Every structure is written in C-alpha cells, then in structure tokens.
Homo-oligomer: A and B are copies of this chain.
Amino acid sequence: MPAARSKSASPKARNRGAREKLLAAAGELFYKHGVNAVGIDRVIAKAGVAKMSLYHHFDSKDDLVAAWLQEKHAAWMSWLVERVERVPVNNRPRELFAAMDEWFHTPDFKGCAFINAAAEAKDPRSKTFQICTGHTSDLHNAIKGWIAASHPALGADSLALAAQDITMIVAGAITWAWMHGPDGVAERARHSALLVLHEAR
C-alpha cells in the first residue's frame, strides 16, 4: 500500500519529474472518483503541471490511464508479495487475508482499482481492460504459487482450481468491503478460502 518512492523512472534524472507528478495525481483522482468522472484539466491542476507536459509524456488520456494502472498493478502486487512471503510457506494463505484486512482498513480504500476501471472500460479489447484482467490473472498465479508451497501434494489441476476459487473469494471480499465496510470481511473470506484449501485434493 505505501507508495514506493525510491528513484525517478526517467532514464535521465535531470528533469523536474512532471511524469511522476502526473501519475501520482491521476492515481489519486482516478481511484477516488473513477476514470470517466475525472477530466484532464483536473489531473493537471492537481499535479501542478502544464497540459502540454501531459501530452509530452502520454499519447492520450487512455494512455495515461493505462500507465497509471500498469504502475499501480506493479506496486500493489509487489506490496502483497513482499507482505505474504515474509511468513513461512505454511502460513501464507492466511497471511494473504491478514494483508487484505489491513488494506480494507486503509482510509482511502475504495475497492479494487482494476475491477472498477474494468467496469468503466468502453471496450473489452482496450488496453485498459487487458491490464485489469491481467491483474486478476497475476493475482491468481501468485495465489497458486503460495498454495502450491503450502500444499505440495496437490496436483496441477486441483491447484489451479483451488487458486481460482480463492481468487474469486478475494474479489468478492474486496467488493463487499468497499460497499458495506471493511470490518470482519477479510476474516469471513479467510474462513471460506481455508475451507476450500482444506478440502482440495
């Protein structure tokens, strides 16, 4: 969750970093209000950046949206992976839901940016939509890795199915936590997921 603010993404670090400011502002606004509800002018105002700087770094609004989602995807996944994989392999499935619980209680939590963005995408073939489905696919793969490590006896098929089940449970929990509040949601999801996992063979 905490934003990784380490090094400039620009190859040469001599500019004043309009790109980073744009991505940060766009991220906040798009996540909070939705992609279609936020105009270019509002983004550049929040970023404190000229409009031409935006179109210098990005081809279009869609391109900015895609870049934001790409970045967010990388940040979110690496946060989760780091968070989950610092506990022993056997505890990782439960740790996933501890991480979810923490995330759900973040002050600015507004559900899954990728599910939300996918809901606004005009075309399933758009880059935006592809990134969104890629996000859930990557999450599915990460979960598969974790339960493979904690349940080495599972065959490849059961593994993929159990991982899908758990990914769907996580997706439902995120949606529920956003719409009805975060309390206890991750705990319920963990309960369901561990049942699935326990029963897998």
Point out the residues of chain B lying under 8 angstroms from A188, CB to CB: 161, 164-165, 168
Point out the residues of chain B lying under 8 angstroms from A133, CB to CB: 179-180
User: Which residues of chain A from 78 to 122 have any CB-CB distance to chain B below 8 Å in the complex?
Assistant: 111, 115-116, 118-120, 122
Interface string of A166-179 (1 = CB under 8 A from B): 01111111011011
Contact size range, A: 35 or more
Q: Does A192 sit at the interface, judged by CB under 8 A?
A: yes
- Identify the closest chain B residue to A36 (Cβ): B36
Which of B119, B161, B171, B192 is the one whose CB lies under 8 Å from A196?
A: B192
Q: Which 10 A-B pairs have the closest CB atoms?
A: A172-B172, A168-B172, A36-B36, A116-B119, A171-B172, A119-B119, A195-B195, A133-B179, A168-B176, A171-B175
Identify the A interface with B (CB < 8 A): 33-34, 36-37, 111, 115-116, 118-120, 122, 132-133, 136-137, 161, 164-165, 167-173, 175-176, 178-180, 185, 188-189, 191-192, 195-196, 199
